[in-house]
Amino acid sequence: AKASTVQKWKKCHSVPLLGIPNCVGFGLHTDSYRFLVFSDLGRTLQSVLNDGLHLLREKAAFQIVVRLLDCLEYIHENEYVHGDITAENIYLNPADLTQVTLAGYCYAFRYCPGGKHVAQREGSRTPHEGTIEFISLDSHKGAGPSRRSDLESLGYCLLKWLCGFLPWSDELDKVERVVEKKEKYKGDVKCLLQLCFRQRSIPDALQSYLRQVLALEYEEKPDYEALRQLFKKALEKMKASAYDSVDIKMVP
């Protein structure tokens, strides 16, 4: 997206931070090589988790999710879905923890070319494209990912960040088992949350988010603001803002 387009969107939608990487340079080296040059995005969230955190506190997780919902709404409104939401594709800037950037668009899909939503056709694409642990059921079945796919994946990520595992995390080499479990828990969100949180308190915001997202139809437009408000209200109770510096300690 052009920087001017992003800035216009931010102003019109009252979004103070929209972390989508902008290309700051383009060079043609030879007829065979092309280069895109981006500013330093910082560190991946996965690398931060690998430092020893493993889990995120609710405050940090909710702050990140609100920013990602901003990003996803923007790219969805511009006819594309991301297709591979994972901590490996989310960047934090140690020098400025207000910056959260969504990158990694190798599985991006134009779900709405010219304003017309593609039809849901299983097997129309290669099945299981993306990060197996977090991709949506649509992606598993070879249907073009839609808006609900990104939000489903984000829900799985949030659950993993808060609990450290998903019911299928130890069976990623058995993709059909992963699909079976995602199908099972799509219809039983309460059981999914109880299994992951065990004896811990389940955040109302997460429970509501998963219920709403997993109930979306393939072509249905999500209510992004309602989803953001779930986490913003939870953050307000923590006396925090969604757009404060992310509450996480990290080294450069």
What are the chain's domains?
42-237 (1.10.510.10)
Q: Go through the chain and tell me how many residues it has.
A: 252
pLDDT band for position 8 (50/70/90)?
A: low
Residue 18 near residue 224, CB atoms below 8 Å: no
Taking residue 231's Cβ as centre, other Cβ atoms within 10 Å add up to 24
**Range with lowest mean pLDDT among 15-19, 40-44, 86-90, 136-140:** 15-19
Q: What is the mean pLDDT of residues 184-209?
A: 97
How far apart (Å, rounded) are the C-alpha atoms in residues 21 and 41? 8
pLDDT band for position 5 (50/70/90)?
A: low
Q: Evaluate if residue 31 carries a pLDDT over 70.
A: no
How far apart (Å, rounded) are the C-alpha atoms in residues 128 and 175? 8
Amino acid identity of 128? H
pLDDT at 4: 58
How far apart (Å, rounded) are the C-alpha atoms in residues 84 and 195? 24
Any bridge partners for residue 109, and if so which?
81
pLDDT at 135: 98
Residues with a catalytic annotation lie at: 84
Q: What is the mean pLDDT of residues 1-14?
A: 58
Amino acid identity of 95? A
How far apart (Å, rounded) are the C-alpha atoms in residues 110 and 147? 10
Q: Where are the alpha helices (DSSP H) in 13-97?
A: 45-48, 58-77
